[in-house]
Amino acid sequence: MSSYSVPGFQKYLFTFLRMAIGWHFLYEGVAKIFTPDWSSVSYLLNSSGPLEGIFKAIVTNQFLIYLLDYTIIFGLIIIGLALFLGVATKAASIAGAALLFTFYISNPPFSINPIGYGVEGHYLIVNKNLVELLTLLVLAFIPGTWFYGLENISKVKPEAGITNMVDVPKEANHYLNPKAVDRRNLVKNLIAVPFLGGFVYSIARNYGWGSHEEKHLRNRVNSDSYSGATAKVVRQLDISELKKPIPSGVIKGQNIGRLICGGNLISGFAHSRDLIYVSNFLKKYFTTEKVIETFKLCEACGINTTAIGTGEAERSVLHKHWKLGGKIQWLAPIHPKEEDYKASVDLAVDNGAMGTMLVGNLGDQWARTGKFELINNVVEYSRSKGVIAGIAGHELATFQGLEAQGIDTDFYMKTLHDTSYWSWRGDEPKEKMVIDNYDVDNYWARKPQETIDFMNGLGKPWIAFKVLAAGAIHPRRGFNFAFQNGADFACVGMFDFQVVEDANMLNEVLDDKQFTRKRNWMA
């Protein structure tokens, strides 16, 4: 095999294949250095398969985490450089394949992805790690002479390139200049060097050179033209930076963290105003693995409940999370049909919900049309199934009607936010109900002070939602406003990189000596 001489174009193809994988390894390693809070913790927490216990046990040992993080970073860099430049190709290929095998076995794609077969990079048994692993094994066991690379420079002999030697007297000096042949082969084997400059450029552009737009935004974080929530969250906190788990309250025997993981973002929906691409972005960002990773971070922070929807995809993710040992509770928002309201309750309870709540749009609509008996039937049927039951809504009139009709629910879920955010539009009349205002999409609590006054007179647990006005209010300010004004819980949509920070901010708000509330805790 080693004596076989590959054509020049094939040699270039093998070289560029080796360089491409080297570029990938090198970039991954360098990028992790430039990501201040990168750690393997979240990947280990999300591990599954036969070695799941070992990988998750590593998380409990800080020394092993440091050792693993630096091993991965510098392993990627060294392997990447070797492959990219063509140095010790066989050893680097085997080492790279071993590293990829570790990644593969820590979370093997042995089950069908609940959100579909077409999830990029995950194809049931085969994923990107396996493909690259097999390619490296191929590169490891083909002759080194099939590549151009630095390791071949010393192997170049003058005679190797001589193709027209003839038998003539030595004094005629009739042969190709060996130095000329050596120079041509040297240049070919240095093929990676110009591309190395491109690699350095890309790293510098992405990590070393600041974005003018980002700098401009950070310089204006106090400007009314920008959302404080968007501008001030500038880096992700690692789980090791969690100060302590958040406190909890109890509703009818169910222990619930004061912060509830909202379901809109996870389900691919956001009040994104005229940013029409956001929902599609969310669906691609929140893969099954990402949702499970988010849930695990929530659990570690004491956020033990989610209000994710009841769709097939959402149920599948929950089932997989629970199968992997997850403990997050499901407070299911239900959207029952009038003619068969029991079906939606059965669907939620049969799939593991610990509670139900009539979704806000439907709560507002049924209350506005006087269908309080139907609302009561939904609540009572949910309770008959052994779960807690509540009603959600945006309008204060909804809850005033429920109280007037004497409908007994386990909790209310009502919007609350202050009005000092950029899209409130203070000069615009707030006559439209929220469900009639979605084409404008700029308020969810039309009468916050009236809501506060009304809830202060009730002895019922209150879950506040839309406390950040769909991302327009900074979490610290939103949490402070909601809990000081009587909310017992806050339901907030969170990306995985916001979970730890949100938990820390909630604790800071509740532990602040200046924190006061008129309403007693009702849960």
Count of CB atoms situated within 10 Å of the CB of 326: 16
Instruction: Please tell me whether residue 56 adopts helix, strand or coil conformation.
Output: helix
Plot region of 248 (φ>0 → left; ψ -120 to 50 → alpha; else → beta): beta
* Average pLDDT rounded to a whole number, residues 73-96: 91
Alpha helices in 86-165 (DSSP H): 89-106, 128-140
Amino acid residing at 164: N
Whether residue 112 sits in one domain with residue 203:
yes
Q: What is the pLDDT of residues 337-347, one digit of tens each?
A: 999 999 999 99
> Is residue 214 assigned to a domain?
no
Tell me, what's the pLDDT at 181?
Answer: 44
Q: Is 454 exposed, middle or buried (0-12, 13-18, 19+ CB in 10 A)?
A: middle
* Average pLDDT rounded to a whole number, residues 265-285: 79
Instruction: Kindly report the backbone phi and psi dihedral angles of residue 7, in degrees, each rounded to the nearest multiple of 5, phi listed first.
Output: -60, 160
Whether residue 321 sits in one domain with residue 200:
no
Q: What is the pLDDT of residues 156-174, one digit of tens each?
A: 444 444 444 444 344 433 3
- Higher confidence at residue 171 or residue 58? 58
CA dihedral 468, 500, 257, 311 (to 10 degrees): 70
Whether residue 396 sits in one domain with residue 277:
yes
* Average pLDDT rounded to a whole number, residues 67-89: 91
Tell me, what's the pLDDT at 473?
Answer: 92
- Higher confidence at residue 124 or residue 469? 469
Amino acid residing at 142: I
Q: Which of 490, 474, 466, 495 is nearest to 230 (CA)?
A: 474
Whether residue 481 sits in one domain with residue 399:
yes
Would you say how long the chain is, in residues? 523
Whether residue 324 sits in one domain with residue 201:
no
Q: What is the DSSP letter of 47?
A: -
Amino acid residing at 493: G
Beta strands in 113-236 (DSSP E): none
- Which of 174, 208, 242 finishes a domain? 208
Whether residue 422 sits in one domain with residue 292:
yes
**Strands 388-393 and 355-358: what pairing?**
parallel
Mean pLDDT of the chain: 82
Tell me, what's the pLDDT at 218?
Answer: 44
> Is residue 455 assigned to a domain?
yes
Tell me, what's the pLDDT at 11?
Answer: 84
Crossing angle (nearest 10°) for helices 8-33 and 62-85: 150
> Is residue 284 assigned to a domain?
yes
Is the separation of the CB atoms in 94 and 76 below 8 Å? no
Contacts of 341 (CB under 8 A, 6+ apart): 374, 377, 378, 381
Q: What is the pLDDT of residues 478-511, one digit of tens each?
A: 999 999 999 999 999 999 999 999 999 999 999 9
> Is residue 519 assigned to a domain?
no
**Domain CATH for 282:** 3.20.20.60
Domain that holds residue 424: 255-511
Highest mean pLDDT among 43-57, 195-209, 217-231, 326-340: 326-340
Q: Is the pLDDT of residue 22 over 50?
A: yes
pLDDT confidence tier of residue 201, bands split at 50, 70 and 90: low
> Is residue 60 assigned to a domain?
yes
Whether residue 317 sits in one domain with residue 465:
yes
Tell me, what's the pLDDT at 183?
Answer: 57
> Is residue 506 assigned to a domain?
yes
pLDDT confidence tier of residue 264, bands split at 50, 70 and 90: confident
Is the separation of the CB atoms in 469 and 417 below 8 Å? yes
Whether residue 124 sits in one domain with residue 40:
yes
Whether residue 420 sits in one domain with residue 282:
yes
Which residue is associated with the tokens 């506060």? 452
Q: What is the pLDDT of residues 446-484, one digit of tens each?
A: 999 999 999 999 999 999 999 999 888 999 999 999 999
H-helix or E-strand containing 452? helix 448-456
Whether residue 480 sits in one domain with residue 374:
yes
Whether residue 289 sits in one domain with residue 201:
no
Q: What is the DSSP letter of 37?
A: T
> Is residue 45 assigned to a domain?
yes
Whether residue 97 sits in one domain with residue 38:
yes
Highest mean pLDDT among 146-160, 178-192, 298-312: 298-312
Tell me, what's the pLDDT at 376?
Answer: 96
Contacts of 414 (CB under 8 A, 6+ apart): 392, 393, 394, 396, 399, 445, 451, 455, 462, 463, 464, 465
Q: Based on the structure, what is the number of domains in the chain?
A: 2
Q: Is the pLDDT of residue 123 over 70?
A: no
> Is residue 140 assigned to a domain?
yes
d(CA 294, CA 500): 10
